[in-house]
């Protein structure tokens, strides 16, 4: 046989064998789907690699997701990333505003539709009353055993002390104005006449010589100046400070009785509840009462909620991931994934590489065939 013909035939045969071998190898990744038996003997390499190791692949993929992809450190880093937080913030704000502007149902209808609550308005009202009552009880328990000085802020205390000189001066000014008024003079004259009548006949005889009106007219300015003098003002300021200090040392329970506190609780609770439009919020369409909302408050609430939620997730991420058991979820999803669909996805993604593997088998086979043909020619 011609040596060149032998060399070509050997190369072609080896290339075909290599190509077919790799085609079979690629096909055996997914085929056959089930084991093939001849009697009780199972044909080797059945089922194919992926169908046979489907469960193991699913479990291993679940572990990879938990251990290398969705790690606590990675998710925490993502949550604290400023860009991510801004994106979430914008998305939440726009979503809330859009919902508020377009929702035609009332909160009552929404709650009933999703079976969240029954009579949510009554429950919210009761809950708010309980919160208000609890806060008041807590505050009263804390303050009834404290002195007024301990209750009020230091700056208020200082402002009160600084205001006392003005109070003393105001009192004396008002006294001066009153004493110089017609009513004040008449009152003083009446006091003097009552004094004279109580003192007996001698003073009354004296009064017959010097009329009370004349007496008041002459000594009145001196009396007013004496009563409103700087010394009197200092004395009054001293007394006011003493009384102010006594008040500061008293306890809250010295001013208010338990019965009064309960009455105040009831009146204050009713007042607060009247200021909260629960009926309007729960029974009107959301978009109607949302028109009265300043969206600045919506933004502030969104910022606070997102910040708190981010902090909560960051701190509790490990426990959340452990509770979610994402590895189990991924594993179960992969196990439930149809093999036909899985093969289609793998082929679509790696079609070019799979073809190259098949052709590479032919090329390697051809090279091996050439080497074999050369060896045969040399040996012959």
45-58 burial, b at 16+ Cβ within 10 Å, e below that, comes to: ebbbebbbebeebb
* Residue 117 confidence (pLDDT): 65
Cβ neighbours of residue 347 under 8 Å, at least 6 residues apart? 354
| 54 within 8 A of 339, measured Cβ to Cβ | yes
User: Residue 37: enclosing H or E segment and its boundaries?
Assistant: strand 37-38
CA distance 126 to 269: 11
DSSP 149-184: HHHS-HHHHHHHHHHHHHHHHHHHHHHHHHHHSHHH
Which pLDDT belongs to residue 19?
Answer: 83
Query: Token pair of 79, please?
Result: 């949550």
Q: What is the DSSP letter of 43?
A: P
Q: Which two tokens stand for residue 98?
A: 């859009």
Task: At 309, list the tokens.
Answer: 């939620």
Q: Mapping DSSP to helix (H, G, I), strand (E, B) and coil, where does residue 312 land?
A: helix
The two tokens of residue 372 are 């074999």
CA dist 177 and 346 (Å) reads 102
Taken as a whole, the chain contains a residue count of 380
Q: What is the pLDDT of residue 257?
A: 66
Q: Give the pTM.
A: 0.40
For residue 38, the surrounding DSSP H or E stretch is: strand 37-38
Q: What is the mean pLDDT of residues 317-344?
A: 76
More confident residue, 337 or 197: 337
| Mean pLDDT over each residue of the chain, to the nearest integer | 76
3-class secondary-structure state, position 147: strand
Residue in the structure block whose two tokens are 């009146």: 267
Query: Taking 50 as the threshold, does the pLDDT of residue 209 lie above it?
Result: no
The H-assigned helical ranges of the chain are 3-27, 49-52, 54-64, 72-79, 82-102, 107-113, 120-143, 148-151, 154-180, 182-198, 201-209, 212-227, 230-249, 252-255, 258-275, 278-283, 286-290, 295-324, 326-336, 339-379
Tell me the domain boundaries of the chain: 1-104+287-380, 117-146+259-284, 147-250
Query: Taking 80 as the threshold, does the pLDDT of residue 260 lie above it?
Result: no
Quick one: DSSP state of residue 35? -
Q: At what angle do helices 72-79 and 82-102 cross, to 10 degrees?
A: 60
| pLDDT (0 to 100) of residue 211 | 55
* Closest of 325, 321, 306 to residue 79, by C-alpha: 306
What percentage of residues in the chain have a pLDDT greater than 90?
0
Q: Which comes out higher in pLDDT, residue 214 or 249?
A: 249
Structure tokens of 106? Answer: 């009332």
Question: pLDDT tens for residues 159-187?
Answer: 888 888 898 889 888 888 888 888 877 77
């Amino acid at each position: 046989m011609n040596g060149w013909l032998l060399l070509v035939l050997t190369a072609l045969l080896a290339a075909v064998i290599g190509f077919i071998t790799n085609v079979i190898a690629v096909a055996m990744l997914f085929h056959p789907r089930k084991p093939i038996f001849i009697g009780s003997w199972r044909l080797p390499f059945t089922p194919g690699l992926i169908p046979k190791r489907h469960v193991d692949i699913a479990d291993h993929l679940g572990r990879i997701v938990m251990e290398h992809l969705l790690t606590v450190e990675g998710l925490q880093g993502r949550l604290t990333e400023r860009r991510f937080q801004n994106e979430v913030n914008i998305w939440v704000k726009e979503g809330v505003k859009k919902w508020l502007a377009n929702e035609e149902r009332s909160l009552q209808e929404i709650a009933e539709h999703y079976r969240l609550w029954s009579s949510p308005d009554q429950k919210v009202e009761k809950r708010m009353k309980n919160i208000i009552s609890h806060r008041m009880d807590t505050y009263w328990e804390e303050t009834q055993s404290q002195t007024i000085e301990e209750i009020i802020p230091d700056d208020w205390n200082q402002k009160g002390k600084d205001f006392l000189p003005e109070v003393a001066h105001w009192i004396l000014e008002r006294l001066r104005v009153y004493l110089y008024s017609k009513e004040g003079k008449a009152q003083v004259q009446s006091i003097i006449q009552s004094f004279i009548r109580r003192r007996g006949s001698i003073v009354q005889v004296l009064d017959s010589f010097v009329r009370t009106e004349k007496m008041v007219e002459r000594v009145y300015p001196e009396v007013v100046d004496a009563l409103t003098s700087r010394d009197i003002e200092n004395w009054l300021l001293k007394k006011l400070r003493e009384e102010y200090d006594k008040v500061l040392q008293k306890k809250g329970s010295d001013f208010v009785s338990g019965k009064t506190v309960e009455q105040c609780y009831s009146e204050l609770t009713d007042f607060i509840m009247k200021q909260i439009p629960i009926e309007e919020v729960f029974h009107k369409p959301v978009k109607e009462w949302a028109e009265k909302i300043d969206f600045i408050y919506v933004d502030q609430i969104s910022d606070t909620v997102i910040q708190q939620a981010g902090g909560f997730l960051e701190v509790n991420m490990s426990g959340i991931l452990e509770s979610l058991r994402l590895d189990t979820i991924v594993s179960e999803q992969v196990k439930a994934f149809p093999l036909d669909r899985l093969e289609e996805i793998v082929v679509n993604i790696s079609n070019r590489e799979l073809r190259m593997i098949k052709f590479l088998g032919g090329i390697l086979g051809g090279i091996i065939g050439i080497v074999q043909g050369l060896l045969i020619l040399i040996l012959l």
